[in-house]
Amino acid sequence: MQRTLRVALLGVTMLVLAGCSEADQHQIRNLAMPDRASAEGPYTYELWKWAWVAAMVTGVIVWGLIFYAVVKFRRRSDDEVPRQTRYNLPLEVFYTIAPVLMCVVFFFHTVRVQDEVLNLDPEPDMTVEVLGQQWSWTFNHGVGEQENPSATATGDDFAYGSYVYTSGTGANIPTLVLPVDQTIQFNLHSPDVIHDFGVPSFLVKMDVIPGRVNKLQVTPTVEGTYAGKCYELCGVSHSRMLFNVEVVSQEDYDAYLGELADAGNTAEQPLLGGDYVREQAGLDDDSEGHSE
C-alpha cells in the first residue's frame, strides 16, 4: 500500500514537471509575476510573495483540519448519529478573531508598501505628461528649450519646442521611450473617462482620472522592451488601449527626442485631450464645430 502510494506520487510529480516548460518554471519561481524592471518593483513583489506565504500557511492549516475532521469523525456504522454540539464559544471567538487579524496584517503591509512605492521625489529627473483617452495614449516629453541632439551631429543646430510627443491609435500602438536609471514622473491626464496607466514589468500602475492630475514616479532599472496597458475597463476598445515601453540608455533617449523633433512632433504645451483631438482631426484653434 505504502509503496503503491509512493509510486503514484512520484508519477504525478513527474507528470506535472514534464508539462512545465522552462518558461513555466520561470513563471512559477516568479510566482506568476514578470521580472522586476523598476526600482519600485521589488517592494510590490515582496508584498506579493509574503501574501503567498500567508495564504499557503492558512491553506495548509485549513486543509489539515478538513482532512482531520473527515477521518476522525467519519461515520462508522449506518445508524450512527454524531454527537450534537453548539455554542462552542472558544471556537467562535477563534474564527472571528483570526480572519480580522489576517486582514489587519495584510492591510498594514499593503499601506507600508504603497507608501514606499507612491512616495514622490520632489525633484524627479524628468517629467512625462501622459494623456490616456479612449482608446490610446499620447506621451509628452517635457524637454525645455534645448538644442536638438540629433541635429548636433550634422552641425544643423536648432532649438525645438518645450514638448516633443508621440501618440498612437488602436491600430498603431504608441511606444514610450524612457532613459534607464532616471526617476521619471508621469503626470496622468484624461479628457474622458477613468483609465489606468501601468506597465506590468514595472509592477506599478495608477488610475488616470478626468478632472485631476495623478502623479506616479517610476525608475526603470533594466534596458529592454516592455508592454504597457490600460488597467481600467474604459469602453469597447479598452483591450486595445496598449502601448510599448522601451527603456534605453540616456544617449539613445536624447537621440530619440531629436528624431521626434525632426519629425515635427513638437508643441509649446503638452497636448492634453482637446488639443490632441483637434490636431488629429486637422482642426486648428479657430475652426468651428469643436467645443471644450
Residue 206 C-beta: closest distance to Cu ion, Å: 13
Query: 224-230 and 163-167: which strand pairing?
Result: unpaired
Residue 171 C-beta: closest distance to Cu ion, Å: 16
Residue whose CB is less far from Cu ion, 138 or 219: 138
Residue 211 C-beta: closest distance to Cu ion, Å: 16
The dihedrals phi and psi of 93, each to the nearest 5 degrees, come to -60, -40
The set of cell numbers assigned to 56 is 499557503
Residue whose CB is less far from Cu ion, 135 or 253: 135
Residue 232 C-beta: closest distance to Cu ion, Å: 6
How many C-beta neighbours within 10 Å does residue 243 have? 24
Residue 265 C-beta: closest distance to Cu ion, Å: 22
Q: Which residues bind Cu ion (CB under 5 A)?
A: 195, 230, 234, 241
For helices 89-118 and 41-72, the axis angle rounded to 10 degrees is: 170
Query: 184-189 and 126-133: which strand pairing?
Result: parallel
Contact 110, 251 (CB under 8 A): no
Residue 208 C-beta: closest distance to Cu ion, Å: 7
Sequence-distant (6+) residues with CB within 8 A of 120 are 185, 215, 217
Written as one letter, the residue type at 203 is L
Contact 258, 151 (CB under 8 A): yes
Would you put residue 224 in left (φ > 0), alpha (ψ -120 to 50) or beta?
left
Residue 117 C-beta: closest distance to Cu ion, Å: 21
Residue whose CB is less far from Cu ion, 132 or 220: 132
Residue whose CB is less far from Cu ion, 129 or 254: 129
Residue whose CB is less far from Cu ion, 151 or 242: 242
Residue whose CB is less far from Cu ion, 41 or 198: 198
Residue whose CB is less far from Cu ion, 55 or 227: 227
Extended beta strands in the chain, E state: 126-133, 136-142, 163-167, 175-179, 184-189, 195-199, 204-208, 214-218, 224-230, 242-248, 266-267
